[in-house]
Structure 1
């Protein structure tokens, strides 16, 4: 029904000047009044919000209608994508909400000014943008969570080798969501009325350096020829081959400064490859130091040293790489073998300072098959060791892990203050002999540790034990000259002698009294691996190492040792 426009009362008399000056004012005012009366306080006809028609409704009616439609629209997830990955985002969790009341107020106010009111006499209402409230903290949190699932790291084009086959890795662009910029785009998407449309969120793009074209080139020019056949190497009178599968384990292609894939061969890894171990052992050999012996207290050369032969990782890489792009007989090349001089020879022994006995110490032990075997093996590995000035010698590094493969057998050790069985039992006897040889040679201890409880065959406070991976015996050669270690064993003893140039005329050991003495307890052990144990008191003791030159004391060094009681253990 068209609203009725009430008649305007006629003014009886208007002065001419007032009429002339106010004619326009009266005309505009009449139109404004007519527009207000036409509107009647309702929303303009034809007014819509996101396609919802609220024209001609009162504010309350328009608000209720919008609430129904906007709540439904505001709960729909928004499809989005970052790069080529797609996902959805919940607008409510992202902090976006419609305000129906303020949207209606905006629609009403849009026609309240004089220009709009008069204009409404000649047109209908239009589309009104809904009022949206945004919780920025929720928006950034939701976008941050979205980034974790849709961000994509760039991937370089690559070529790999697996079991002698060539594998190509296609390059891929990377995208990282720009959270700050995406917040505005997401708001616009929420305001829009494009059901089902996917919003592309702004992201920082990362392009891979290595292109697909470069991958194809690298495969064609290098990778495929490299895996086409074995390579053959000649070292002296020895000849051996390396298969594609082994080559592929240590071969890579990496981008250079121009993003071109270039081959890299891990020569060090290839040199240590288990498949080449037997072959290289027939080609290479360690140098052997001259064997020294004592004539009285003076050192003489018993046998000269021997040259060793070595293949370096650089030589292996240099020999193999050029062959990989060749075919047929051309995939055969020479491998350079280098001679290695021994550290000690007949000619340089005296120059190194290996001229006389520095110290010697013998440890006697009760015969036992495991003890004799393990001490003999340790002596074999240690004998002939040369320690250059300022170098640190390590028993664990020299002897290696005490395993069956390394020549050791099961024996008795101390574990958790009790005797127990383990591989390498008895090697502590060798450690004690070396500790005392080091002690009386006057060189610097770096790492050492005594047994947890005292063992009667060792000098108290002047003995050592070792454990693979936890306790080592190390000393630094601070004598100024080289040291040569002799280690010799019998079924009941081991003797360690240091040959070199003594810095001191004499070194003595002074053992202090036992203090903090504690008595052992009695225990019963029912474990089938139990080893019986006799009791012995625990105590603390200090041993002083005293240095002399020209008959005068130069300095003293204390060595403090704490022994726990050795409990009596009966096996049942």
Structure 2
């Protein structure tokens, strides 16, 4: 019987041979590779070829951090800085890096493939803690952010200075997170990474500053200007002009000249010569003939130069060339006095309404401060229904305004401060207003009683918080005359009496409180004698045709004046 040979036998044999061949290669590949990672595999120069995953992770954790950047150099605009990757939450993920480097699996075909290839360089995986990255960038931002700087042109001692414009940059923290990660992964030694930022363009460009210099600044500082005021010639040099001259941008960024005309008018180089021909109007000088007001000296008109008139002439001259072209005449204008021989009677300045005097012990600071306050108050004209203010009239009691340090009351204790003594003037004005019968709008007494003043009829002032104000409700104008000596101050109200007489009735002291004793200040101590505190009421009584027509009570509280002794007293 003939045997049938299956046609599949050769194929089975071939398949068996093939199986034997593949198995041999697989075994050979396992013996050669010896691990899970292809030979020749490196991560940032660290060789992990032939290692198991655990071995590779251990080796990378030991060496990879040293292979990474120690600091990332960054910049925004022209400012540079650095970021510590670890503080910014940037590290290499060794486990995921090894997973990327390892063969995909242990199947024969992948393993056998390892016989015919080497691993090569593998890019590490970056782990990022975005919260820490944003925090590090937020801390870095203030050192790298730049404010936009407009171009500018300034003047210094008659010289032109051009300031170059500069764009502003603000770090975009959200966008910078990815940039920083890329820099950590791919940045090379010595490279600087530009972080994303929002740019602000300057409003005034370099081209505009160059134009302003060419068309205005250089011509303005090329020579002095000469001004004439009513025949008086004044030459103003470039240094003085530049001090009061500015170039300011308009809404379009164009630089336009601005002259501080008030400042230039007050500059010694201008104000000095002008003082020879200008001055305020002088009111008619009034005096009393008995109880009646008469004109003692006629009024005089004044002459002034306004800042607007000065600016109108100076600015056009600055762009001209040549001495003749840089000369101009500034208009002057006459000012009229408020009180003249002709209008004194029409204003109602016909009689003495009241007068009051306060005496004080002589002291150099009182002489200066009281004298200065009197100078500023004297001649005040208060028209009907106007309110007069001591603080507004006298101004702040500063050295620049002519005042010196003197004794004042602060926190129920004598101390030194500028303007000490002005309250003596305030008390004098208050009493003159009291007996003139005008409406008392604002006043305040000292915190404790001072013996030289009438009880309940005195006033103090504090710049910015306490004023002395009265309203002229007499129906006619009121003119204040103020005079001072080294030991007294007198204030007189001239006008038309609304009442025949105004008197004061002072009640008894109530709620008397005894003083204590406290130490003086460590520096500049002022001794203080004790005096009781009390309450007192003063009635202002108005009389007309021999009858009382109105009464106003004024209640005052005085704190005790504690005894204060100073070292060595």
With normalisation by structure 1, the TM-score equals 0.80
| 1:331 is aligned to 2:322 | no
RMSD: 4.4
Gaps of 5+ in 2: none
CA distance in 2, matches of 1:75, 1:407: 68
| 1:461 is aligned to 2:456 | yes
Structure 1 residue 523: Cα displacement: 9.9
SS at match of 2:63: helix
Deviations 1:203-228 (A, max 9, x none): 11222232323222222222122112
Alignment partner, residue 438 of structure 2: 442
Q: Which moved more, 1:457-466 or 1:405-414?
A: 405-414
Alignment partner, residue 497 of structure 1: 492
Alignment partner, residue 482 of structure 2: 487
Structure 1 residue 459: Cα displacement: 1.7
Structure 1 residue 184: Cα displacement: 0.3
CA distance in 1, matches of 2:80, 2:525: 66
Gaps of 5+ in 1: 1-11
Q: What are the within-5 Å matches in structure 2 for residues 51-130 of structure 1?
A: 51-74=45-68, 76-108=70-102, 110=104, 123-125=117-119, 127-130=121-124
CA distance in 2, matches of 1:13, 1:504: 151
| 1:556 is aligned to 2:545 | no
Alignment partner, residue 172 of structure 1: 166
CA distance in 2, matches of 1:530, 1:81: 59
| 1:290 is aligned to 2:284 | yes
Shift in alpha-carbon separation, 1:510–1:73, aligned structure 2, 3 A: farther
Alignment partner, residue 541 of structure 1: 536
Identify which of 337, 340, 344 aligns with 1:342. Answer: 337
Structure 1 residue 187: Cα displacement: 0.6
| 1:252 is aligned to 2:246 | yes
| 1:187 is aligned to 2:181 | yes
Structure 1 residue 347: Cα displacement: 4.8
Q: What are the within-5 Å matches in structure 2 for residues 125-164 of structure 1?
A: 125=119, 127-164=121-158
Shift in alpha-carbon separation, 1:116–1:254, aligned structure 2, 3 A: farther
Contact 2:69 2:189 in 1 (8 A): no
| 1:266 is aligned to 2:241 | no
Deviations 1:400-435 (A, max 9, x none): 677899888998776776778999776544322211
CA distance in 2, matches of 1:453, 1:36: 115
Alignment partner, residue 37 of structure 2: 43
Structure 1 residue 266: Cα displacement: 1.2
Structure 1 residue 464: Cα displacement: 2.4
Structure 1 residue 303: Cα displacement: 4.5
Structure 1 residue 271: Cα displacement: 1.9
CA distance in 2, matches of 1:56, 1:553: 119
Contact 1:417 1:453 in 2 (8 A): no
Alignment partner, residue 3 of structure 1: none
| 1:509 is aligned to 2:500 | no
Alignment partner, residue 5 of structure 1: none
Structure 1 residue 360: Cα displacement: 1.0
SS at match of 1:232: strand
